[in-house]
Amino acid sequence: MKIFKFFPIFLFFIVFSCVSSTKNEYLEGQNLPKFAIAIHGGAGTILKTQMSDSLEAAYIEILSKAVTAGHDILSTGGSALDAVGVSINILEDSPLFNAGKGAVFTHDQTNELDASIMDGATLNAGAVAGVMHIKNPIDLARSVMDNSPHVFMYGEGAEAFAKDQGFNMVEQDYFYTQARYDHLMRVKATEEQNSTLFEKEMLPNNPAEMFFDPILKASKYGTVGCVALDQNGNLAAGTSTGGMTNKQFGRIGDAPVIGAGTYANNQSCAVSATGWGEYFIRGVVAHDISAMMQYGGFDLEQSTSTVIDKKIPELGGDGGVIAMDKHGNISMRFNTPGMYRAQIDTNGLLKVGIYKSDTLLTK
């Protein structure tokens, strides 16, 4: 039969066209799963004039190490959630950032830590606030998400859950750093001075104005966070912090509040915030950015710039975000003089930045 005579030729064409189309798509990069990661180590009054060369080098080194560790997870097919956790762990273990080891002191000279994580695929999330004996609060937030029916746990209850989950508890001494202690002393002295002026009606009749003092203002920043897109197209975001120096009365900031400091949704983007937490809660920053994309059809950069360059300053706050959309595009927006930040984009390019004027340093 004729058909059998031509069969080998058909077969050749079919195989050839499959191979060549795979090869073309491969060459054009269309078939390769994209993945990317970005981290921040806090936004604030970070000025080159106040930074020694060695400290700057130390920041660049740890930011590079953290973002690379997360990227390694993604490049071997790991999940965005795992990458977020691993990158944040490295920042939490460094005394340079206001999270984990480097957490700031409360008014009562304790350390109370907050963290949250969110899965963009399922919109599941976990968060903890006011924990005092957890070395890596982002891991506990993940455990709340994975191993409990709840989203948000605080204080002693969160720590009891941690013990049940087999977490090693650390003493408060673990979080002691001289730099954070000295900072608390300076902030307390400034606050005392300001409240005397306030009582004498020499300051504006608005308690928020008191925080415009540069030392008090600097007391608010240094949180760490991460956003990632994995090879399965899933986004995740996480944020971890010691909160704000001299905080009292169980104050909780935006970092553990889903929708304020952290949000992730595969339909839109992943966001982690840093800044003056009270304003980021009121501005529902992370969800606002996601909603602008999902319901308003804005792109990533339009969404982050509307919220960070307009909405938050208009409310009176400041800070920044890192955000990533489902294509792996990255936005790093902040309205402060600096933000510690690093990224490895979909082309595998590592960039690190500290100051506003930086074009990110390429490593």
Q: Which residues contact ligand ASP by CB under 6 A?
A: 42, 98, 220-223, 241, 243-244, 253-255, 274-275, 277, 280
> Which residues does 236 contact at the CB level (< 8 Å), separation at least 6?
79, 80, 81, 83, 84, 117, 118, 119, 120, 227, 228, 230, 264, 270
Which of 194/336 has CB closer to ligand ASP? 336
Q: How far apart are CA 156 and CA 189, in angstroms?
A: 31
Question: Contact at 8 Å (CB) between 119 and 245?
Answer: no
| Six-digit token string for 296 | 């308003």
Residue 223 annotated as catalytic: yes
Question: Contact at 8 Å (CB) between 272 and 91?
Answer: no
Which of 108/299 has CB closer to ligand ASP? 108
Q: Which one from 110, 196, 223, 239 is the annotated catalytic residue?
A: 223
Burial class (CB in 10 A: 0-12, 13-18, 19+), 341: buried
Q: Is 335 helix (H, G, I), strand (E, B) or coil?
A: coil
The enclosing H or E element of 350 equals strand 350-355
Q: How far apart are CA 271 and CA 322, in angstroms?
A: 6
CB 101 to ligand ASP: min, Å:
15
Which of 153/224 has CB closer to ligand ASP? 224
Q: In what order do the strands lie in the sheet with 350-355?
A: 152-154, 125-131, 113-119, 235-241, 224-229, 36-44, 338-344, 350-355, 361-362
CB 212 to ligand ASP: min, Å:
16
Question: Contact at 8 Å (CB) between 142 and 158?
Answer: no
CB 275 to ligand ASP: min, Å:
5
CB 102 to ligand ASP: min, Å:
11
CB 91 to ligand ASP: min, Å:
12
Question: Contact at 8 Å (CB) between 273 and 298?
Answer: no
> Which residues does 69 contact at the CB level (< 8 Å), separation at least 6?
86, 87, 90
CB 33 to ligand ASP: min, Å:
32
Classify 32 in phi/psi space as left (phi over 0), alpha (psi -120 to 50) or beta. Answer: beta
Which of 130/253 has CB closer to ligand ASP? 253
Which of 167/280 has CB closer to ligand ASP? 280
CB 225 to ligand ASP: min, Å:
8
- Helix locations, 93-177, DSSP H: 137-147, 155-164
Which of 236/312 has CB closer to ligand ASP? 312
CB 82 to ligand ASP: min, Å:
24
Which of 74/285 has CB closer to ligand ASP? 285
| Six-digit token string for 80 | 């965005």
Q: How far apart are CA 329 and CA 247, in angstroms?
A: 35
Which of 130/277 has CB closer to ligand ASP? 277
Q: Which positions are catalytic? A: 223
